[in-house]
């Protein structure tokens, strides 16, 4: 079985050395191509990859002029995936279990899935208080809304999950990622895969550690873009939204309605109830984790909800 491992990358000098060490040491990658699709890094990312490529022919540095992750994966597949049986997508901004490749390939082999998705667990670096708050929110129903690939658990068939593996045949059949999508490109691809009769296995027992944004502004930008991307997917495929997606849409209108509170206090009630619910849930999460920073998870969740709502409504209007 021939593997193509693709790492979309942008300014990941902090993570790349350990990531490449792990991939190159894994026995299953002996004959694999490991392509780092770089979207214009301004740090030492390209130097790190080029130095590794000079000593290991499996490693390839591929400039990604379109910069987007989906475009980088498409380009890597087009140039180096002709004889591949399986394509594995590895995100540079995450930590993977040592036996990741073995378990991922075993899951596909046992089920015949066209795609194998995995679960994510948000973690924070030592001393990064707001990142800890964001991670706590994202690991809970407050921030993730019960999203299946945020919870771990048993393996099951799903409509969407965090991308990890595709059979080369399935990825080619759907035409890869839609490069007009800067965000939510994974869910959009999954929609096409399902429409064409493909099967997506969520191997929820395979967990990776993901590092959330470390500042309120960065988190807000990320979730605004997530919301806009989800709106584009909705417009393109007319897929019904789930309750966990519908409820956050109402947050921005509730916040706008609160501006009229000086005219009549009841206009502020929806936004007030939402904020109290976020802050109260955040306090409970803090007690459960016994961590002061986790107390701000309600604030992080409120930022995520409001930014996602604004992004979705903006995307829908466009």
Nearest to 145 by CA among 227, 234, 213, 215: 227
Nearest to 122 by CA among 297, 303, 298: 297
The two tokens of residue 32 are 């694999």
pTM for this prediction: 0.88
* Fold for the domain defined by 3-212: Spore Coat Polysaccharide Biosynthesis Protein SpsA; Chain A (3.90.550)
Nearest to 73 by CA among 59, 85, 87: 87
DSSP conformation class of 44 = S
Question: What is the residue-level pLDDT of the chain in tens, covering all 318 positions?
Answer: 899 999 999 999 988 999 999 999 988 888 899 999 999 999 999 999 999 999 999 999 999 999 999 999 999 999 999 999 999 999 988 889 989 999 999 999 999 999 999 999 999 988 899 999 999 999 998 887 667 777 667 899 999 989 999 999 999 999 999 999 989 999 999 999 999 999 999 999 999 998 899 999 999 999 999 999 999 999 898 877 777 778 889 999 999 999 888 888 888 999 999 999 999 999 999 999 889 999 999 999 999 999 999 999 999 887
Q: What does the buried/exposed string (b/e) look like for 267-298 if buried means 16 or more CB atoms within 10 Å of the residue's CB?
A: bbebbeebbeebbebbebbbeebebebbbbbb
**What residue ranges do the domains of the chain occupy?**
3-212, 234-317
The two tokens of residue 305 are 């909800």
Residue 159 neighbours by CB under 8 Å, 6+ apart = 190, 191, 194, 200
């Amino acid at each position: 079985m021939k593997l193509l491992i693709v790492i979309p990358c942008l300014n990941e000098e902090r993570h790349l050395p350990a990531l490449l060490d792990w991939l190159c040491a894994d026995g299953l990658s002996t004959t694999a191509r490991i392509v780092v699709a770089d979207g214009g890094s301004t740090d030492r990312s390209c130097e790190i990859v080029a130095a590794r490529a000079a000593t290991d022919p499996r490693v390839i540095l591929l400039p990604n002029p379109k910069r987007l992750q989906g475009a980088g994966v498409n380009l890597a597949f087009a140039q180096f995936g002709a004889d591949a049986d399986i394509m594995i997508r590895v995100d540079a901004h995450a930590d993977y279990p040592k036996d990741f490749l073995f378990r991922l390939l075993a899951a596909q082999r046992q089920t015949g899935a066209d795609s194998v998705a995995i679960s994510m667990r948000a973690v924070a670096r030592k001393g990064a208080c707001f990142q800890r708050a964001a991670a706590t929110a994202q690991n809970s129903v407050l921030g993730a809304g019960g999203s299946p690939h945020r919870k771990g658990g048993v393996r099951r068939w799903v409509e969407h999950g965090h991308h990890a593996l595709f059979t080369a045949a399935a990825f080619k059949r759907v035409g890869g990622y839609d490069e007009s999508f800067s965000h939510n490109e994974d869910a959009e691809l999954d929609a096409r895969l399902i429409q064409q009769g493909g099967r997506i296995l969520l191997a929820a027992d395979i967990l990776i550690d993901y590092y959330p944004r470390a500042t309120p502004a960065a988190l807000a930008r990320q979730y605004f873009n997530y919301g806009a991307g989800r709106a584009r997917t909705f417009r393109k495929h007319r897929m019904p939204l789930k309750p966990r997606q519908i409820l956050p849409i109402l947050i921005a209108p509730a916040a706008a309605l609160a501006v009229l509170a000086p005219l009549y206090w009841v206009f502020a009630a929806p936004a007030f109830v939402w904020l109290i619910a976020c802050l109260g849930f955040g306090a409970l999460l803090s007690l459960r984790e016994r961590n002061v920073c986790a107390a701000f998870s309600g604030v992080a969740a409120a930022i995520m909800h409001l930014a996602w709502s604004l992004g979705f409504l903006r995307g829908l209007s466009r």
